[in-house]
Amino acid sequence: MREGLTAFQAEDEKVLNRCKNEAVNLFEDISRSRGSYYRMALRGGGDDLDNEARHIYYRIFNGMKELSHELRSVLGMSANHIANRHRPYSGALGDNLDQMLGILEDAARHFRAYAAGEGSRAELSAYADHCSSRISKIQIELLQRIDTEGLSMRSSDLYLNYLQFARAFINRFTIVALLERDLNDACRRNAARKEEETAAASAQA
């Protein structure tokens, strides 16, 4: 997203179109990966942990498919915007889009840390709410500036689509982090249980 938005602001059609095409490829790759859920289900078998893993796999990739679709859409709109010689965003509106990217990049680090075992569920939820609140403030400022900045409806809609993607990013990755953490915890519990069973069997031998 950063490369695409930077290209949009610089009116670099070549880089922006490349980013758009990469987003299309990402959507197709995720769609194919999501299909693995059905192949796993067809094989059947497995214990409760296997079934939970399949369920989590599907939910994660289904969410990522929807998010990649939104990324593809907003970059496509951006490419059309520049191709039709509409201007990018300047001043506070441009600065706020850069701030939005910072929110998303910081959130990605936060979500990875939670999935790896850092922090609590309540802390993650509060953090996600804080990110959403910051994005809402950016939207409020946009609405306040539509008249003073002389933004067209096309420009306003594109800006709102960037913010919609940002909200979807926060919401989707919050769920991904929660699911990944739950699966990691379940795997650790399962491994500990098997170790205990092995130790008990060895003690009886």
pLDDT digits (tens, 9 = 90+) for 125-167: 999 999 999 999 999 999 999 988 889 999 999 999 999 999 9
pLDDT at 44: 64
What is the C-alpha to C-alpha distance for residues 119 and 126, in angstroms, rounded to an integer? 11
pLDDT at 184: 83
Which residues, other chains included, contact 197 with Cβ-Cβ below 8 Å and sequence gap of 6+? none
What is the C-alpha to C-alpha distance for residues 98 and 94, in angstroms, rounded to an integer? 7
CATH code for position 15: 1.20.58.220
What is the C-alpha to C-alpha distance for residues 135 and 165, in angstroms, rounded to an integer? 10
Is the four-CA dihedral 51, 53, 57, 63 of positive or negative sign? positive
How far, rounded to the nearest angstrom, does the alpha carbon of residue 160 sit from its chain's CA centroid? 17
pLDDT at 105: 97
Domain count, the chain: 1
pLDDT at 197: 74
Q: Which two tokens stand for residue 125?
A: 């939820």
Q: What's at 44, amino acid-wise?
A: G
pLDDT at 188: 80
pLDDT at 38: 66
State which residues of the chain have pLDDT below 70: 37-38, 40-46, 205
Q: Which domain holds residue 67?
A: 2-204
Helix, strand, coil percentages for the chain (3-state, nearest 5): 90, 0, 10
pLDDT at 46: 66
Q: Are 55 and 183 in contact (CB under 8 A)?
A: no
- The pTM of this model reads 0.86
pLDDT at 40: 67
Which residues, other chains included, contact 104 with Cβ-Cβ below 8 Å and sequence gap of 6+? 1, 166, 169, 170
